[in-house]
Structure 1
Amino acid sequence: MPLLESRAAAPAKGPEPTRRTELAAFLKACRARVTPQDVGLPPGLRRRTPGLRREEVAQLAGVGVTWYTWLEQGRPINASDQVMAAVARALLLDAVERSHLFRLAGLPAAEPGDLLCPTVDPTMQVILDGLTPLPAAICNRRYDVLGFNAAYDALFPGATRATAPNGRRNTLWCAVTVPDCCNPFVNREEELPRMVGVLRTSYASHVGEPAWEEYVRALCEVSDRFRELWESQLVAPTVTVRKVFRHAAVGAIQCQASYLTMPGFPELYMVVYTPAAQQDRERLEWVTANPQAPVVDHTHR
């Protein structure tokens, strides 16, 4: 039975008209690129257009022909993520194309692992290293630290090293779980509402995704402060902000955090910390040159 044929005629709230038009054009273009041989169908005769026919896509996806035709015509019809995933498979879409399809359909676009948490390639690592002594890192929208340079490691070991809380290389996790006496953030109470607000803004595009839901649930379990801020529904933009770090060897280090987007990876950004004054620059240079210097002046038993 087609997955959605019984609902084809029901009134629906689909994506807005402009996105429906873009969705229709994208589907037609993708269908034209796939030959019957690509999906194990006989080539057939008298094909007036390249690629698959609409009925063939509907058959492969397990949906009604009428429903799929309406989808390609840009009509306002319902489309669940399960059905759109079936359409994506039928059209042999890759991970980027699948995410684009979901966004055009007005559905949460679950980022595949290689987009959300890719391995930082050597070229990007060279850029990070070249920014030293400015601390710099590549993170995703959940604050996972995917790549960093020596200066960032020296400044923020709680988010980069094997001793990171619960083994998570994650700046927000570090900010809410490391005790006040050892936390690298001096202005944590100023920072936390902004960080949680930025997280909730990003979360709106990922509601219901297992990885995001597990992450938020875990943070709520380990931190009452995070749960309080999360339940406040605060949202915030990603903007250049002042951060104050502490290091036992040199004291406080003030920086401006700037965020740079990364074309091709919409879920990633590069953060670069610029020292606020000459004293801060000198302290950064010292801790980077002396990575074994203790970050805090005591230990916990």
Structure 2
Amino acid sequence: MTPDQVRRRALAGFLRSRRERLTPRDVGILAGTRRRTPGLRREEVALLSGVSVTWYTWLEQGRRISVSRQVLEGLARALMLDAAERRHLFALAGEPPEEPDPAEGPGAALQQLVDALDPHPAYCLDAHWNLVAWNRAEAALIGDPALLPTQERNLVRMVFTDPRFRTLLADWPGQARHLVAQFRADARHRVGDPGLTRLTDGLRRESEEFRTWWEAHDIAGFRANRRRFHHPRAGLLTLDYVKLAALDAPGVKLFACVPADAETAGKLPDLLASGAPEAGTTTG
């Protein structure tokens, strides 16, 4: 059996199982008195989905037929699929679902996880790379974002408009340019988004470096990388960054930092104890 046949058989079984769990009453159909089929009939699902009975029957038989996104949406509604089931249906049909709407924040559980990572710096970014969560260690490293207006808590904006970052990052030009390439790659699903346009237009006006590197159209994927910081109180810190996606908060990314050497590991508790430097001020 080929992989395509396995996938089509799995799709057929999934559709059949979802059809059989529903009752006519669930979808507003009069059941009648003589029903030998558990759940809904195929013709009822076809009617609710806006497809022919023959076509739907072939789909449940695992035949090789094309399925459009519009039809999948109709099937998901007719079968009353939840979000997880909808994603599963699209995957089995070989049609990945559209990106979910970005979450507005990390949620309480994710914030607790970020806090629990102290003394290791950790933070969360939303789909536009706004800082939406951070722990005390991160605040001690870069300055407390809570001291900034909400609209200015954007990592890209901070790196390019806050003078502190030019001395805090050991290789500001290299890291800043790479950040722009990562940001452009991550923003590919939101081209034309008003919030993204406002952010990039503003940075192009405020920063010549950002304008130059943004217009270069360089693209970089994220991989675990190493960053070096010249902290005004802790001295040189070398941290390895790890990125995790929050599945229950679409668009939110968790970044956790672990010490790259024993010297940095020994400094992190003192960094945490020192508290956050004042955000938005130059240090040297």
TM-score band w.r.t. shorter chain: 0.7 to 0.9
In structure 2, distance between residues paired with 1:200 and 1:25? 40
In 2 relative to 1, CA 32–266 (structure 1 residues): closer, same or farther, beyond 3 Å? farther
Structure 2 partner of 1:149: 135
Shift of 1:134: 0.7
CA contact (8 A) 2:25 2:31 kept: yes
Matched ranges for 1:86-235 at <5 A: 86-113=74-101, 116=103, 119-122=106-109, 124-139=110-125, 143-157=129-143, 160-161=145-146, 163=148, 167=151, 169-175=153-159, 177-179=160-162, 181-182=164-165, 185-192=169-176, 194-195=178-179, 207=189, 213-214=192-193, 217-221=197-201, 222-223=203-204, 224-225=211-212, 227-228=214-215, 231-232=217-218, 234-235=219-220
In 2 relative to 1, CA 31–227 (structure 1 residues): closer, same or farther, beyond 3 Å? farther
In structure 2, distance between residues paired with 1:235 and 1:227? 12
Kindly, what percent of the aligned residue pairs are identical?
Answer: 32
Which among 45, 65, 89 is matched to residue 57 of structure 1? 45
Provide the TM-score with structure 1 as the length reference.
0.69
**2:11 is equivalent to residue 23 of structure 1:** yes
Structure 1 partner of 2:264: 280
In 2 relative to 1, CA 86–260 (structure 1 residues): closer, same or farther, beyond 3 Å? same
CA contact (8 A) 1:33 1:51 kept: yes
**2:62 is equivalent to residue 79 of structure 1:** no
**2:243 is equivalent to residue 259 of structure 1:** yes
SS at match of 2:146: coil
Shift of 1:256: 0.9
Q: How many equivalent pairs are there?
A: 271
In structure 2, distance between residues paired with 1:198 and 1:32? 46
In 2 relative to 1, CA 247–70 (structure 1 residues): closer, same or farther, beyond 3 Å? farther
In 2 relative to 1, CA 196–48 (structure 1 residues): closer, same or farther, beyond 3 Å? farther
Which structure 2 residue ranges, 5 or more long, are not aligned? 205-210
In 2 relative to 1, CA 88–200 (structure 1 residues): closer, same or farther, beyond 3 Å? farther
Shift of 1:59: 2.0
Q: Deviations over 1:165-203 (max 9, x none)?
A: x7265434544x435554554434433565556566666
CA contact (8 A) 1:186 1:244 kept: yes
Q: Which has the higher contact order (CA 8 A, sep 6+)?
A: 2
Which among 21, 24, 28 is matched to residue 40 of structure 1? 28
SS at match of 1:161: helix
CA contact (8 A) 1:145 1:170 kept: yes
CA contact (8 A) 2:50 2:74 kept: yes
Provide the TM-score with structure 2 as the length reference.
0.72
SS at match of 1:274: strand
Q: Deviations over 1:229-266 (max 9, x none)?
A: 5x34x343x43210123444445432111234667678
SS at match of 1:245: strand
In 2 relative to 1, CA 256–182 (structure 1 residues): closer, same or farther, beyond 3 Å? closer
Which structure 1 residue ranges, 5 or more long, are not aligned? 1-14
SS at match of 1:243: strand
Alpha-carbon RMSD: 3.8
SS at match of 1:244: strand
CA contact (8 A) 2:162 2:280 kept: no
Bigger share in helix: 2
In 2 relative to 1, CA 246–141 (structure 1 residues): closer, same or farther, beyond 3 Å? farther
